Amino acid sequence: MNLAFDPATELARYETRLAFLTRQAALRLELAEGITFQPETAESVEDQVVETLWAEGMTLETAPAEDVTEARASFAVLAPRREQGGQSLVATLFLGFPDAVRDAKLAALQRFPDQLRLELSDGSLAAPAVDRGAAGPEERLPAVLALRFFIPDGCRIVALVSYHPVVPGRWSAPPTWDAWPS
């Protein structure tokens, strides 16, 4: 595979993706320095498929069908889905810290993902199923985690709430979250 950086191609790709990137930024919450909560949508999942193929020198049109199928299957776990009685939604939690403090910060935040809740319009709280990848519950916290929440029919997301002592808080849901399930 021959990959070469072409500034004109990259600029065109960026300009094509700009509206999508703007929509993603409008969904994102910055919880604290180095801690980002990014809701996933069907559009963001498809974008990850496209970007993965691009990184391998392919596009949806040029990649072998089995590569496209594999990429879509790999990212399907992040897609919103309809379940009996409601919607199952995913957010990616990014924990990005400088090397000098990374291990200490991740250790201090060990239980942070498990102590996040979505506050719903009926007053209930939705706890996440936390996907730590290959890391067990007592192993070092990964820097990227998937959080899956179940939102019952008839409920809207009002806020994200953290009960963790290092990063406590309540962040009102931005208006863009009304479109999160899409």
Q: How confident is the model at residue 43 (pLDDT cuts 50, 70, 90)?
A: very high
56 domain residue, yes or no:
no
Sheet holding 157-162, edge to edge: 125-126, 116-120, 157-162, 169-172
The verdict on residue 70 lying in a domain is: no
**Is pLDDT at 53 greater than 80 in this prediction?**
yes
DSSP 96-153: ---HHHHHHHHHHTTTTGGGEEEEETTS-EEPPEEE-TT--TTSPPPSEEEEEEEEET
Question: Which residue in the block uniquely carries the two structure tokens 């193929």?
Answer: 53
For residue 127, list its beta bridge partners.
Answer: none
Q: Name which residue leads in pLDDT, 59 or 5.
A: 59
pLDDT in tens, 85-137: 999 999 999 999 999 999 999 999 999 999 999 999 999 999 999 998 888 77
Secondary structure (3-state) at 171: strand
In terms of C-beta density within 10 A (0-12 exposed, 13-18 middle, 19 or more buried), how is residue 49 classed?
Answer: buried
Backbone phi and psi for residue 157, each to the nearest 5 degrees, phi listed first: -85, 125
What number of other Cβ atoms are within 10 A of residue 91's Cβ? 24
Tokens 């070469």 belong to residue: 4
Q: How confident is the model at residue 84 (pLDDT cuts 50, 70, 90)?
A: very high
Q: Is residue 51 part of a domain?
A: no
Is 138 inside any structural domain? yes
Report whether 45 contacts 79 (CB < 8 A).
Answer: yes
pLDDT above 70 as % of the chain: 97
In a domain, residue 58? The reply is: no
pLDDT in the model for residue 171: 98
Mean pLDDT of 125-154: 91
Residue pair 27/90 in contact (Cβ under 8 Å)? The answer is: no
Evaluate whether residue 131 is within a structural domain.
Answer: yes
- Amino acid letter, residue 73: A
pLDDT digits (tens, 9 = 90+) for 154-172: 999 999 999 999 999 999 9
Calculate the CA 96 to chain-centre distance.
Answer: 14
- What does pTM read for this prediction? 0.89
pLDDT at 181 over 80: no
Number of domains present in the structure of the chain: 1
96 located within any domain: yes
Q: Is 7 part of a structural domain of the chain?
A: no
What tens digit of pLDDT does each residue of 59-81 get? 899 999 999 999 999 999 999 99
Give the pLDDT mean for 14-41.
95
Q: Is the pLDDT of residue 2 over 60?
A: no
Residue 3 is predicted with a pLDDT of 59
pLDDT at residue 182, as a whole number: 64
Domain span at residue 109?
A: 30-39+81-179
